[in-house]
Structure 1
Amino acid sequence: MHESEPMLPTAPLPDDASATTARVRHPRRLLVIFGSIGVAAVVAMGILLVASGRGPTVLDSAWHDLMQERRTDAGITVARWFEVAGGVNSMVIVGVLLTITLLILRRPWAALALAAAMICSEIATGTIKTLVARPRPADSLSDTGLASFPSGHTALAATTACVLALLIGRWFWVIAVPWVIAMAWSRTFLEAHWLTDVLAGAVLGTSIALVVYWAVTRALFTVGARDRDVSRRAIPLSSRSRPGTAGLGGARGAGRAASD
């Protein structure tokens, strides 16, 4: 199918039911598979930490010492900025503004994916923090709570960046990946987290983004198969979104997914 001939998932008609069914493809299952594996890996890491006494690993201690050796006033200033920018209060504002923007742009499914992913990320992070109850480094320069595993700043940054990258297109990964890395670095630079905390946060946040995006996209394809107008109102932010994962889209996104 050529891009100039987009095909929307439409309600089956008596004379072309089989053709319509063939046009509708569910989003790639790799999203939910990788996402589920990531969440399971973080949970398994938390169990291992509890079993080993919740203390730092050899890698944690080595990275902690390195951050102390490289600590500078300028570095602390930059890390403090990331702490505020990636905090819950700031991210709530960012999430609300992005959701409103998507609704104004008539991307309701994209807005749902972003809002749901951010909320799920916070719930998952808070739950695991409570259950694992790993203490922060004793010399932490941050006073954002007591529990350390996983890093909430890093998890929320990864969730938001990943969903936006899936919505906007591949080029946004150039912004998303450095943002998450910088957030993870800032948390360890302030000794607010161990290295394994931020690694787990990045994995958890990305995994939740993949699972939620997959679930919302699957719902869109299900509804769009019955309601042509629904799929038209959910046009993707970028017509160059990856085939099979642009399920939050309409004409071009659905057309490419159908031809993939």
Structure 2
Amino acid sequence: MKTQNPHATHAPSARSYSARRTVTHILLAAVLVAISALVYRNTTAGGWLAELDHQLLEHSYNDRSNTLAKWVTWYTNIGTTAFTAPIATALVVWLAWAKRSWWPIVITALSATCSVLTTTLVKEWLGRPRPEHTFAVAPFEYAPSFPSGHTLNAVVVFGIIAILYASTLGYILAGIYILLMGASRIWLGHHWFTDVLAGWLIGAAWLLVISAIFWPILRNIRATRHTR
């Protein structure tokens, strides 16, 4: 009497599920990018988002105090490469050591590279001006405005780290950091609201793409966390 391999019937369905997951992630990423394009178009065409941009900038300008401006400036500086790189490196190297795997470092480095390249290329391509310095807190920034690099990089780098750690606390902390980073850019007058919105959307799109590509590896890293 032949014995049936219990894994034989499950393997095709597992592959099918993985394929559906990949397609779904890619489609959702495309939708988010398309929404970002619509946001830019509406804003530059003087639509309702442009009005919202100016209202939030004016509200931030009227709401500022010197003391709070110093604290928010300190916080937003964490989003620069000089601060983000050491923090992200420490978190990822620790995880790589704990998992006995180079994959956390490889995936995070690739994610950060994609984020920085996207920010640089899109900014230069669109060349959207930042809010006037009259409404901003020094030190001023001069690079093009759309999308917000601080925001996009925060989503991609700390989002992928949260996915790698796969803990509820990690997701919460990453979410708070990402939201506050975007809010700080608007409040300081360094970016329009729509710049930050695009940073959130495009960053989330990259997370979907990266997680789709590396899902088998991410799943193994998560499994290792629960078996040690």
Interval of TM-score (by shorter of Structure 1 and Structure 2): 0.7 to 0.9
Kept in 1, the 8 Å contact 2:116–2:153? The answer is yes
SS at structure 1 position matched to 2:8: helix
Q: Which protein is richer in helix relative to its size?
A: 2
Distance verdict in 2 for CA 1:43–1:77, change over 3 Å: same
Matched, 1:177 2:175: yes
Kept in 2, the 8 Å contact 1:118–1:156? The answer is yes
1:124 partner amino acid: T
Q: Deviation per CA, 1:168-224: give whole Å up to 9, x if none.
A: 233422212221111111111110001111111111112212211211125x39xx9
**CA distance in 2 between partners of 1:99 and 1:161 (Å):** 10
Q: How do 1:1-260 residues align onto structure 2 when only pairs under 5 Å count? A: 18-19=8-9, 21-22=11-12, 26=18, 28-29=21-22, 30-50=24-44, 52=45, 57-105=50-98, 106-139=100-133, 140-141=136-137, 142-167=139-164, 168-218=166-216, 220=217, 234-236=221-223, 238-239=225-226
Aligned residues: 214
**CA distance in 2 between partners of 1:166 and 1:193 (Å):** 28
- Name the TM-score, length of structure 2 as normaliser: 0.80
**CA distance in 1 between partners of 2:79 and 2:91 (Å):** 15
**CA distance in 2 between partners of 1:43 and 1:88 (Å):** 26
SS at structure 1 position matched to 2:214: helix
2:189 partner amino acid: E
How far did residue 236 of structure 1 move?
A: 4.6
How far did residue 153 of structure 1 move?
A: 0.5
Distance verdict in 2 for CA 1:150–1:69, change over 3 Å: same
Segments of 5+ residues of structure 2 without an aligned counterpart are none
1:77 partner amino acid: K
1:161 partner amino acid: F
How far did residue 109 of structure 1 move?
A: 2.8
**CA distance in 2 between partners of 1:114 and 1:63 (Å):** 33
- Name the TM-score, length of structure 1 as normaliser: 0.71
How far did residue 129 of structure 1 move?
A: 0.8
Identity of aligned residues (%): 23
Distance verdict in 2 for CA 1:131–1:163, change over 3 Å: same
Q: Deviation per CA, 1:80-134: give whole Å up to 9, x if none.
A: 1122111122222233333322322224333332222121111111111111111
2:18 partner amino acid: H
How far did residue 33 of structure 1 move?
A: 2.7
**CA distance in 1 between partners of 2:224 and 2:111 (Å):** 17
**CA distance in 2 between partners of 1:26 and 1:111 (Å):** 23
SS at structure 2 position matched to 1:144: coil
- Deviating runs (4+, > 6 A) in structure 1? none
